[in-house]
Structure 1
Amino acid sequence: MKKLLVTYLLLFIYTTINAQEKEEKLFLSGYIKNLHQFSFVDKLEQLQWTALLHNRLNFKYIPSEEITFRLELRNRFFYGDNVKNIFGYSGMISNDNGITDLSWNIIDNKDILFNTTVERVLVNYIKDNWDITLGRQRVNWGMNLVWNPNDIFNTYNFLDFDYEERPGSDAIRIQYYLGDFSKIEVAAKKGIGKDNHIVAAMYKFNSGSYDIQLLTAIYQQDWVIGTGWAGNLKNAGFKGEISYFVPYENYFNSENVMSASVSVDYGFKKGLYINSSILYNSSANDASSDLAALLYNSLTAKNLMPYTYSGFLQLAKEFTPILKGSLSTIYSPTNQSVIIMPSLDYSIATNWELNFTGQSFFEFQDYQTIGNSMFVRLRWSF
């Protein structure tokens, strides 16, 4: 399988490069990022350092007006204390929940880790009102800005700020547009294991100043119904999502789960932006919840936070066209848990960006510091 995939990739690149010589049908974009992480719990003597050299290659081949091929590769080279000290780190990095494992640790030893992953490989067909995509893709049904209970196919972790593209799914997605503001969408995903499958349908339409979606799905071992909306309350944005999960086996004796989020955001004239959100998670067990689990665990639409209630507040400001900053906080009344995330972005030159991001985790009820991390990232895009 691996030899076949490598042959396919080489053939794809060779064919599209030859096509590019004839006419502009092949497009290449991507970036190279150098990310340094400095972490400690509550004493600087505990300081741990890890570096990541991150490269992404996005190939797009358009042989006709109706058909588009996409191939996107993610290459990551890790070195430092996380590679040495975190048990199972290489397995976590190479984890792939798709039908076929397309993630490989090329180098894996006690000091360094080099991983290559096929992030997207798909064909897209668009004609008249039809839009059909087959392959590894992102099926994005989320409408909210932070927590997305409707994003049942490939939920992302908001703490993973270095992963802008967000996870994908091995799926087929069919969209039929009924008009300029309405469509019917059907998608299906088959992952590893007999219960790791999703089949879902969504109807999206516009009513007044609101975009509204209704969805239903078989989600692993649950039936799901949900809704989402995005609109305005006067000059403020107002968005929300609700998903309700009902086990289809022994559902009379099972506990149903509701995941719901609502957000309001507003931009001031002088460049200040405010975004606030509230999340309710009925499946959370507050007594055994742990903020630290957010760092390495995969989130699902059914369990977006380890607490029943969580709140988010972000202040963002563009100081100049090349300098902007933000301060984000997440608070839960359980143990008075708090996450503080400051960030600063500076555009050094065209396609060059420098970023500073911090993440601190606290439980003030027990006066406990869970951990602190500082990230420094230099990025070049092409």
Structure 2
Amino acid sequence: MQARRLRSQGVILALILFFACSVPFAQDFKLGASIRGFGFYALEDSPFQPRRDTEFVIFRLVPEVQFNQHVKIETHLVADITSPPVSPATALATGGSRTYLNLEGDLLDCTDLASTAGFDRLNLQIQTDAFQLVLGRQAITWGVNYFWPALDLFAPFAPGRIDRDYKPGVDAARLIVPVRAYSEIQVVGAVLGPSTDRDLAVGGLIRWNVRTVDFGFMGGSFHEDKVAGAFISANAVGTGFRGELSWTQSGHPRDDPIDRGVFWRGSLGIDRQLTPSVSLIFETAWNEYGASDPRDYLLFLNSDRLRRGEINALGRYHSGVSLTWRFHPLWTYSNTTLVGWDDQSVLWIPSLAWSTGNNSEVLFGGQLGFGLEPTSLGLPRSEYGTPPHTLFASFKLYL
């Protein structure tokens, strides 16, 4: 463990030195940064949390080196501090991705405090009139829906995530070829984990635009699965309509005993600006991989698909709504409600955002789950009744 930590720290140091040496040769250099801090307090005890309070701070340094109009390097160096070191509450604000390259290292590893540093983005971008090629750690988004994007197999956001400023990066090579205005072909080769055999992903996506309608198709091999899907996104009478559907033929040996050798997933959503100050997002999703009976949740709890974040649901049928009201130029109220129809559980996330400046924000809110509580051993009996009621506050500062 100590040797691995030293190796990762050595890799990080070498990359920082390489980046610093490349700056003098740059035609253009930009430097940005952000600091985000979160405090969580659980209103009840949980077997998954060592204590009720959790503090979490993330510092992100974002240098960008442009060598010429065709070549640039994108870098996000991230350091965080967490107390206690392991707490499920942090999943409200952040999420990770499984990566192949070991570009992270521990700075502190104490009983009550942990700190890590690493690269969330580190890629070379080559841009021409004919194509764009991105090599290295990067954020990739496939899919069009907000809560449950069935086509996004590259570290999608969890439905209840309160901070979506940065999507986790994955180690990949991506070729983007524009074919006409707002239409393109993407080809991606990635390793979404430590194994080049089990975690290899090779896929393609076609996105086509006709007036106010985008539609497309995707297919490929992901984690030994064969996946195909389609999406559509349209705007009509002031309303956005989103839909996506995916088919998966599993290559994981654990899926056959639970009758999940082949399964479908899909979601439908709308978004609309109801008034100049009120906006609405509604979405409903179907996940054939999930348990049809809440008593079978335990069979899926340790599924690799859930653990790597590809699927964010234990059950099959879910709906979500997000209502945002900007009642003052500096104040915005948001209300997110997620419903698990299989077990009749509800997750309510109200929040109040205060814009304290052009580059800063303060957020207050809570996560309240309603449904059957877990057993004495911590096993879930409902989708959203498991997490403890939690209050949170956060600040964001962009430099």
Is TM more than 0.5 here? yes
3-state DSSP class of the match of 2:165? Answer: coil
Which residue of 309, 315, 329 corresponds with 2:337?
A: 329
Q: Which residue of 2 aligns with 1:377?
A: 394
Specify the alignment match of 2:296 in structure 1.
Answer: 288
Local SS of the residue matching 2:14: helix
Asked if structure 2 preserves the Cα contact closer than 8 Å seen for 1:361 and 1:372, the reply is yes
- In the TM superposition, 1:1-382 aligns within 5 A as 1-2=7-8, 3-16=10-23, 18=24, 25-41=28-44, 48-79=52-83, 82-83=84-85, 97-190=98-191, 191-193=193-195, 194-247=197-250, 255-285=261-291, 286-289=294-297, 298=307, 300-301=309-310, 303-363=311-371, 370-382=387-399
Opposite residue 264 of structure 1, the aligned amino acid is: I
Cα distance in 2 between the residues matched to 1:222 and 1:94: 23
Alpha carbons of 1:189 and 1:208: their partners in 2 closer, same or farther (altered >3 Å)? same
Structural RMSD (CA): 3.0
Number of residue pairs matched? 366
With 284-293 and 105-114 compared, the bigger mean Cα shift is at: 284-293
Deviations 1:186-237 (A, max 9, x none): 0011231221111001111013421011011111121111011111242211
Q: Which amino acid aligns with 2:52?
A: Q
Q: Distance in 1 between matches of 2:212 and 2:95?
A: 43
Query: Per the alignment, in what secondary structure is the counterpart of residue 13 of structure 2?
Result: helix
Structure 2 spans left out of the alignment, 5+ residues: 1-6, 374-380
Report the 3-state secondary structure (helix = DSSP H, G, I; strand = E; otherwise coil) of the residue aligned with 1:178.
strand
Indicate the percent of aligned positions where both proteins have the same amino acid: 19
Q: Secondary structure at the match of 1:15?
A: helix
* AA in 2 matched with 1:269: T
Residues 97, 169 of structure 2: 8 Å contact kept: no
Please tell me whether the aligned partners of residues 145 and 269 of structure 2 are also in contact (alpha carbons under 8 angstroms).
yes
Aligned-residue offset at 1:249:
8.1
Q: What is the CA–CA distance in structure 1 between the aligned matches of 2:252 and 2:39, rounded to whole Å? A: 46
Name the amino acid aligned to 2:56.
Answer: L
Q: CA separation in 2, counterparts of 1:334 and 1:59?
A: 46
Three-state SS of the structure 2 residue aligned to 1:289 is helix
How many angstroms apart in 2 are the aligned matches of 1:330 and 1:78?
27
**Cα distance in structure 2, aligned partners of 1:101 and 1:372:** 35
For the 8 Å contact 2:336–2:350, the answer to whether it is kept is yes
Secondary structure class of the residue paired with 1:305: coil
**TM-score normalised by the chain length of structure 2:** 0.84
Instruction: Report the residue type matching 1:224 in the other structure.
Output: V
C-alpha distance in 1 between matches for 2:204 and 2:398: 36
Aligned partners of 1:96 and 1:102: how far apart in 2? 12
Query: Relative to structure 1, is the Cα distance of residues 105 and 95 closer, same or farther in structure 2, using a 3 angstrom cutoff?
Result: farther
Question: By how many angstroms is 1:154 displaced?
Answer: 2.4
